[in-house]
Structure 1
């Protein structure tokens, strides 16, 4: 199965994800990567979950929960966004919520599963990721998985009182 890995599986969002989603979306330490500037209410997130079943071809995005097989625990989310079927491309973003779960290979496995899904079921030609130039761990992760740096947007992200460059990474399916 495309969304089953050795240590994890990816699944659609469930109503039971509300508390985890609320905690993650209101974690100011990741607002920079999610382009968030204000907190989300549980009411708004509940509405989001109620509409999460909508087709990626309609809403141009898909969020999947990253679940550990051993414990059935949700440890993060992986997003496909700005889906462009005509141009056969989609953006990819990932967050592993707990610092204790980072660095264990879970993000790499989730990205590989998502790329396989996108190439197989969405028939995309490429996936891309936007990464700030100071996010060395993400740069290393995406490069290790075959993504190539193809551009740099100068002073693209304003965060914590300063501008940061954003790098564009692409994985093109040959």
Structure 2
């Protein structure tokens, strides 16, 4: 598994990913994204994490192989040294363990390179695969937000997850 920076060649991959209506509910998107907007995004995607307060990395199975997904750090808070985590795997590439491996790599990067104190995630209560993923990755379930996410079927609950990266306590002690 490998995480890499976005490249201009990722335009068509991002276009397919961002325009998949099946993931709009988890990505706070309501409309398709144009190639022009994605080109503009790619031009600025290499900006400093500490300046733009977000980082998007492409997930590949090995160096030079096609992208299978993306993993993001967003809403970076420099005072509290925390950021949100988002992950999307192409539909055809799911259930191969790529999300689990990519999340482990991101946790290592957030802890050892970015020196974050914690990362967190908001997951739809009906998204059993993501709930299982964050639990297995050592995140602690810290709450539920009721009626938090607007979906095509109405309002859905969201589960909040937190992972302390520099904690002297173990996950077992927090449970």
Which TM-score tier does this pair reach, normalised by the shorter chain?
over 0.9
Q: Which residue does the alignment assign to 1:119?
A: 111
The one of 130, 145, 152 aligned to 2:122: 130
TM-score (norm 2): 0.92
In 2: Cα distance, 1:49 partner to 1:22 partner: 11
Q: Which residue does the alignment assign to 1:36?
A: 29
Shift of 1:70: 7.5
Shift of 1:103: 1.3
Is the 8 Å Cα contact of residues 18 and 32 (structure 2) preserved in structure 1? yes
Runs of 4+ in structure 1 off by over 2 angstroms are none
Structure 1, unaligned stretches of length 5 or more? Answer: 1-7
Q: Secondary structure at the match of 2:56?
A: strand
The one of 138, 143, 156 aligned to 1:164: 156
TM-score (norm 1): 0.92
Shift of 1:116: 0.4
The answer to whether 1:23 aligns with 2:16 is: yes
Deviations, residues 72-91 of structure 1 (Å, cap 9, x unaligned): 11000000000112101111
Q: CA RMSD in A?
A: 1.1
In 1: Cα distance, 2:79 partner to 2:144 partner: 25
Shift of 1:105: 1.1
In 2: Cα distance, 1:65 partner to 1:136 partner: 23
Structure 2, unaligned stretches of length 5 or more? Answer: 168-175
In 2: Cα distance, 1:15 partner to 1:124 partner: 28
Matches within 5 A, 1:39-58: 39-58=32-51
